[in-house]
């Protein structure tokens, strides 16, 4: 009798414990919660690249990355510019008055900097050569590139690409909406607006609100365009993607995205060729994965959350 009483009591105690501590966990599953993790599960995909090196810049906030013909790596950010060797060894650094948002290095080693609302050119030794006047009071320069004597700057503020000469004069503006010429106009909901120059000197610009790439003649004529909107691996999804891109030596395009954090390689017609890195390689919510490619076709990724330069090499 006493034993059965104790048994019943223990059953009641076990039930109370289950009700208090375990049943609550079942209740915590909320039918209203949006689960976006499924979009980032890409277990079946096998990246063709692997990460081979990481190193950390000193400056506190990092925004832009570029490389020169000697494969030196230039990082721009809150303090100015830091230059590293191909293996991540510090080479030199210099300070700038304003925060560097983007940068490019020409074949002679001159360093072009996008400093929010204007452009500055520094000598290879880090001395200021010329500072261009302010482009516009609403200007936010997000990308800069050079082709011979032409300097191109993407302005997310006025949603236009400016073409300058070396003395800072605006030669022409590119990409303003013009239905008669078939130019759709840039849609830039947030300050992710990248451009790049291929080895043969042609200008490519991301139209981030349309998930498209647009190729322009220097005079502003639209040559071609391709668009890929999709949550799938072969497309771009969300606001302002791809956030950044760079060219491989064969002209193929390396892209980085925010939202679904990933890096991929496309040909110039928009066909997906390779996956470089998938969402699992990055911290959730990362934005501003700026890219550069060195002469060995290594992909240099600026990771602003881990505060690293991460280098990926093709493995197969």
Q: Which residues form the interface with other proteins (CB under 8 A)?
A: 30-34, 36, 39, 187, 189-190, 209-211, 229, 231, 237-240, 259-260, 285
| CA dist., res. 194 & res. 288, Å (int) | 11
Q: Closer to other proteins by CB, 33 or 200: give it.
A: 33
Q: Closer to other proteins by CB, 80 or 242: give it.
A: 242
Q: How far is the CB of 48 from other proteins (least distance, A)?
A: 26
Q: How far is the CB of 189 from other proteins (least distance, A)?
A: 2
Q: How far is the CB of 184 from other proteins (least distance, A)?
A: 8
b/e sequence 111-139, b meaning 16+ C-beta within 10 Å? bbbbbbbbbbbbeeeeeeeebbeebeeeb
Q: How far is the CB of 232 from other proteins (least distance, A)?
A: 9
CB 175 within 8 A of CB 205: yes
Strands (E), 27-97: 49-55, 62-67, 73-77, 80-84, 90-95
Q: Closer to other proteins by CB, 114 or 259: give it.
A: 259
How many C-alpha atoms does 54 have within 13 Å on its Cβ side? 11
Q: Closer to other proteins by CB, 106 or 214: give it.
A: 214
Q: Which residues contact 39 (CB under 8 A, 6 or more apart)?
A: 231, 237, 260
What's the sign of the alpha-carbon dihedral 90, 121, 263, 58? positive
| CA dist., res. 71 & res. 295, Å (int) | 6
Among candidate residues 269, 182, 253, 267, the one with its CA nearest the CA of residue 217: 182
Q: Closer to other proteins by CB, 260 or 276: give it.
A: 260
DSSP assignment letter at 236: B
Q: Closer to other proteins by CB, 159 or 310: give it.
A: 159
Q: Is the peptide bond before 19 cis (omega within 30 degrees of 0)?
A: no
DSSP annotation string for 109-136: --EEEEETTEEEEE-TTS-EEEEPPP--
Q: How far is the CB of 1 from other proteins (least distance, A)?
A: 44
Q: How far is the CB of 243 from other proteins (least distance, A)?
A: 12
CB 101 within 8 A of CB 64: yes
Q: Which two tokens stand for residue 258?
A: 């925010």
CB 271 within 8 A of CB 263: no
Q: How far is the CB of 276 from other proteins (least distance, A)?
A: 21
Q: Closer to other proteins by CB, 158 or 308: give it.
A: 158
How many C-alpha atoms does 116 have within 13 Å on its Cβ side? 9
Q: How far is the CB of 118 from other proteins (least distance, A)?
A: 25
| CA dist., res. 194 & res. 48, Å (int) | 24
Q: How far is the CB of 135 from other proteins (least distance, A)?
A: 22
Q: Closer to other proteins by CB, 5 or 179: give it.
A: 179
Q: Closer to other proteins by CB, 22 or 316: give it.
A: 22
């Amino acid at each position: 009798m006493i034993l059965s009483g104790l048994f019943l009591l223990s059953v009641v105690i076990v039930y109370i414990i289950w009700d208090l501590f375990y049943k609550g966990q079942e209740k915590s599953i909320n039918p209203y919660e949006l689960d976006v993790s499924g979009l980032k599960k890409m277990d079946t995909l096998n990246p063709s690249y692997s990460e081979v090196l990481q190193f950390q810049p000193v400056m506190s906030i990092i925004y832009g990355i570029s490389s020169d013909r000697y494969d030196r790596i230039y990082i721009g950010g809150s303090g100015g510019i830091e230059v590293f060797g191909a293996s991540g060894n510090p080479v030199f650094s210099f300070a700038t008055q304003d925060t560097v948002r983007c940068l490019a290095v020409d074949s002679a080693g001159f360093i072009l900097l996008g400093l929010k609302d204007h452009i500055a050119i520094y000598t290879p030794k880090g001395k200021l050569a010329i500072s261009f006047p302010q482009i516009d009071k609403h200007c936010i320069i997000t990308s800069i590139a050079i082709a011979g004597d032409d300097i191109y700057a993407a302005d997310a503020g006025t949603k236009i690409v400016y073409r300058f000469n070396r003395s800072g004069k605006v030669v022409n503006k590119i990409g303003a909406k013009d239905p008669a010429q078939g130019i759709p106009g840039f849609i830039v909901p947030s300050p992710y607006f990248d451009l790049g120059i291929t080895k043969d000197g042609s200008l490519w610009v991301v139209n981030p609100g349309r998930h498209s790439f647009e190729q322009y003649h220097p005079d502003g004529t639209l040559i071609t365009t391709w668009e890929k909107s999709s949550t799938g691996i072969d497309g771009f999804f969300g606001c302002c993607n791809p956030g950044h891109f760079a060219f491989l030596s064969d002209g193929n395009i390396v892209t980085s995205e925010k939202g679904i954090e990933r890096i991929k390689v496309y040909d110039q017609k928009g066909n997906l060729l390779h996956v470089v890195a998938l969402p699992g390689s990055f911290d959730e919510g990362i934005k501003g994965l700026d890219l550069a490619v060195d002469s060995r076709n290594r992909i240099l990724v600026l990771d602003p959350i881990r505060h690293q330069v991460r280098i990926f090499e093709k493995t197969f």
